[in-house]
Structure 1
Amino acid sequence: MYKQLVLLFSLICTYPLFAQQVVLQDTVSTVETKDTTLYTFDHLYDIGDGIKDIGRFIRHDTTTKIPKKRSGLSILPNINYNPSIGFQVGSKIVSGMYLGDRENTSMSTYATALNYTTRGIIFGYLMHDIYTSKNKWNLKGGVIIAKMVGLDYGMGMGNIVPTDVPEEEVLNNPERTRFVNQYTVYGLNERLYKQLSPGMFIGAGVFIDLKRNIHTVGNHPQTPLGTYSDFTGYSAKNYNNNGLMFNWQYMTRDNPNSAYKGIYTDIVLRMSQAWMGSSQSSYQLQTDFRKYWQLSSSRPNHVLAFWHWGSYNLGGNLAYLDLPGTGKDTFARVGRGYTNGYFKGNSFFSTEVEYRFPILRNQFLSGVVFANLQTANDRLGTKLFQQWQPAGGTGLRLLFNKATRTNLCIDYAFGRFGQRGLFLGLNEAF
């Protein structure tokens, strides 16, 4: 039986290598141009197809059935791992659908999950990115409730800067001593965009972020969290970060889960407002830019991708746990190779390039190679762009749902200071 299963898996993976290539429409960009470089679903192979074929093989079912229309809904155990959260178990639902004609409407995506990790994190969320017919409106955001455990290595880039103030050295943490912060978070984030022209949107939104029961595990005479809170006047135990957002977005990418071509740009002005219940007023400008180059018309998932994510302080002070840094983007994917928050500052900049290449013609298996750079400022005089820290890695992709281009991503990444680890998850990092 074991040999038969191995043979079946080999046939599953290699059969489409000999299949005739067929060019059909699949998904399209928001500039109303047809994408004619993609295979029909009949020539793509995902994990769902594999499960069905194994079931038919075990049942000795040799009948040929007309395939049903594939659903954009993925329901699965949410097993994950990365150095920041440890090993994760839970359940996750990911869905994609079109609320209008595919030729002029982007895919709307939804995700919800409830998870537990071996670091003691318990979190549930509901997120959405909705495009109405002809992309006239875009509503994106979500809610999260979580008990969080975060690894903390201080502020800045880990550089050694002479100082006569012991507290500043604790905050900068040049020895990269690891602290562990625990807290509970209740968050809501909603943005509404109006289309100005094909691919271009302007919008506004609101965010509410309540953090409670904050503390650093263990007995430490001084911690980065406590030191920063003393410097800035924040409570080291509880605080609110509520405010308004103004947004500009330009998007021509052909798919939000795994883009083959196009551009995604999102610029957000976040204004924490005391009159809305925020502990302090502050202002951050966030930038998110992604560019995708399709390298082959016959192998559409042969792609070179570029990503920049940054957050720049325009005034006031953020609370320590809200400082921008590694993994502080929406889906905690910035800076693979380091744990979340490993580098952080009042301002932060990250850039990454990824080469994505097909392995099997049916797109069931593909690979990536990536590298990134990060920089942040600190309180000891290090400026943004003055010092950089690199990371890189490689990974495999398994096509999980061909209807939405959802991939199961398995990456191994490494950086400096002994930072390295395995990163698992659904959908591309960007």
Structure 2
Amino acid sequence: MRFRIFLLLFIFIQASKPKHVIAQVQIQDTISTKLEKDTIHPTQQLYDIVDLFKDINPFKKKDSTVVKSTKRSAITYLPNLNYNPSIGGQIGIKAVGGKILGNEANTAMSIGAAAVSATTRGIIVGYLIHDIYTPGNRWNIKGNMMVAKAVGLDYGMGIGGPLENPTEEELIMNNPERERYVNKFMVYSISERVYKNLFPGAFVGVGFFFEMKRKFETVGSDPGMAPVEIYSRWNGFDATRVNNNGLMLNMQYMTRDNPNSAYKGYYVDLVLRMNQSWMGSAQNAYQLQTDFRKYWQLSTERPNHVLAFWNFGSYNLGGKLPYVDLPGTGKDPYARSGRGYTLGYFKGRSFFYSELEYRFPILRNQFLSGVVFANVQTANDQMGTELFKIWQPAGGAGLRLLFNKATRTNLCIDYAYGRFGQHGLFLGLNEAF
């Protein structure tokens, strides 16, 4: 019981990562029916931050033979901390509660969470989420509600390649000087999904989403010449407000051994998002999202010695998305892609991203480990640049502190470099993928 509480607790810490430079809530699509013994290694010999706090606690009783048995509360409170160049520093409070609705051996814990946070860039977010598993994990119901005051850094559309004889508006959209615009707006969203288990590791699901963005304002542009205003004129959108409502079809297959820090296995997720005008969207649009991850364990004696690969894609199948909803850097469901650039630094109608990361142990008790990573991304635009024509690289390195050994949760401290002078510190819980 205690393991499941901590496992789902830290999964939901990562469910509130920024998207469009806000702490966008996304319910994690990692569903597993494996027993606890199949997903973790013995932890007695490991050392995490909780152990460190116990060792340095000056009020710890050195001689205690009586262990008090106290019943833990079903609701846990914890700080909601994060940092990256897009949002700055984030601080807030999160509350999580859970209950198992079936047999503990084959049923994941159903959980609800609520949080409020603010960042140094003026972003304020509040949300409610739920993740319900019926007995035997036969059905899984996920949903969220969110209200946010958003602040998003904007560098135009495309992948940063040169244009021949651009018009004034195309030059602003292409943004060869990488001038920074700041978009401010309000976000109101609600979504719900239902998954059915087909066989171990495989699920199919359907859902709906309603996302309303209001009170758009761009800082740092001439009147009517901000990228969001130009794109909206080109494509028939209202530059001050937009609805992004529609339906989802999902397919997923997962064999990885842990969602927080996998040592081996696969993760595959396919999502067809269908913006529908009859549901209130400004226009119909069809976007296919693909997520593929593979993990190779390089040592059985040092299990956290891993080579990991990630590919994320978002492909336009028809119709047009609003400017703020275009796929791009850091706009994967958990906003972890593109370390080395701010969120949305590159974006287009379609987007393709790949990353390779080498994870290596430093201390045998896994308290300290390290990573080296490199990534590339490409996007198309509305000015003639095609997908896969121009690639933009980034790379970096980082340290890992074992935050919770039972759930394999790491405190991740990365520094990454991209092109155009982009670089920065990326701090968070759990691996990027």
d(CA) in 1 for partners of 2:144, 2:413: 26
Check if 1:191 corresponds to 2:193: yes
Listed as ranges, the matches of 1:128-139 within 5 Å are 128-139=130-141
Listed as ranges, the matches of 1:14-53 within 5 Å are 30=33, 35=38, 38-40=41-43, 42-53=44-55
d(CA) in 2 for partners of 1:265, 1:280: 29
Partner of 1:234: 237
The residue identity in structure 1 corresponding to 2:374 is: A
Of 400-409 and 82-91, deviating more is 400-409
Alpha-carbon deviation of 1:77?
Answer: 2.5
Partner of 1:406: 409
What stretches of structure 1 of length at least 5 have no aligned partner? Answer: 1-27
SS of corresponding position for 2:234: helix
The residue identity in structure 2 corresponding to 1:147 is: K
| 1:308 and 1:352 in contact (8 A); partners too | yes
Alpha-carbon deviation of 1:58?
Answer: 4.2
d(CA) in 2 for partners of 1:364, 1:415: 29
Partner of 2:400: 397
Match of residue 212, structure 1, among 207, 214, 226 = 214
| 1:34 and 1:103 in contact (8 A); partners too | no
| 1:172 and 1:224 in contact (8 A); partners too | no
Change (3 A) 1:206 1:262: same
Partner of 1:121: 123
Check if 1:308 corresponds to 2:299: no
Of 45-54 and 379-388, deviating more is 45-54
| 2:180 and 2:220 in contact (8 A); partners too | no
Match of residue 151, structure 2, among 149, 152, 155 = 149
Partner of 2:326: 323
Percent identity of paired positions between Structure 1 and Structure 2: 65
Change (3 A) 1:166 1:128: same
SS of corresponding position for 1:38: coil
Match of residue 345, structure 2, among 330, 338, 342 = 342
Match of residue 423, structure 2, among 420, 423, 426 = 420
TM-score, structure 1 normalization: 0.85
Partner of 1:21: none
| 2:196 and 2:204 in contact (8 A); partners too | yes
Match of residue 363, structure 2, among 360, 363, 381 = 360
The residue identity in structure 2 corresponding to 1:199 is: G
The residue identity in structure 2 corresponding to 1:174 is: P
d(CA) in 1 for partners of 2:106, 2:372: 32
Change (3 A) 1:96 1:87: same
The residue identity in structure 1 corresponding to 2:331 is: K
| 1:30 and 1:253 in contact (8 A); partners too | no
| 2:101 and 2:110 in contact (8 A); partners too | yes
| 1:299 and 1:358 in contact (8 A); partners too | yes
What stretches of structure 2 of length at least 5 have no aligned partner? Answer: 1-30
Partner of 1:296: 299
The residue identity in structure 1 corresponding to 2:122 is: G
Q: Deviations over 1:348-387 (max 9, x none)?
A: 0111111112222222222111111111001121111111
d(CA) in 2 for partners of 1:51, 1:334: 32
The residue identity in structure 2 corresponding to 1:306 is: F
Change (3 A) 1:89 1:294: same
| 1:96 and 1:404 in contact (8 A); partners too | no
Partner of 1:203: 205
Match of residue 265, structure 1, among 268, 276, 300 = 268
The residue identity in structure 1 corresponding to 2:312 is: W
Of 165-174 and 201-210, deviating more is 165-174
Change (3 A) 1:301 1:105: farther
Change (3 A) 1:36 1:144: closer
Check if 1:254 corresponds to 2:257: yes
| 2:339 and 2:416 in contact (8 A); partners too | yes
SS of corresponding position for 2:229: helix
The residue identity in structure 2 corresponding to 1:229 is: S
Alpha-carbon deviation of 1:272?
Answer: 0.4
Match of residue 183, structure 2, among 178, 181, 184 = 181
SS of corresponding position for 2:341: coil
SS of corresponding position for 2:38: coil
Alpha-carbon deviation of 1:396?
Answer: 1.3
Change (3 A) 1:82 1:97: farther
d(CA) in 2 for partners of 1:369, 1:127: 33
d(CA) in 1 for partners of 2:280, 2:248: 15
Alpha-carbon deviation of 1:35?
Answer: 3.2
Cα RMSD for the two superposed structures:
2.7
Of 293-302 and 154-163, deviating more is 293-302
Change (3 A) 1:219 1:343: closer
The residue identity in structure 2 corresponding to 1:265 is: V
Partner of 2:62: 61
Match of residue 246, structure 2, among 223, 227, 243 = 243
Alpha-carbon deviation of 1:111?
Answer: 5.4
| 2:40 and 2:257 in contact (8 A); partners too | no
Listed as ranges, the matches of 1:100-115 within 5 Å are 112-115=114-117
SS of corresponding position for 1:43: coil
d(CA) in 1 for partners of 2:255, 2:247: 26
| 1:29 and 1:103 in contact (8 A); partners too | no
TM-score, structure 2 normalization: 0.85
Change (3 A) 1:257 1:37: closer
Alpha-carbon deviation of 1:64?
Answer: 6.2
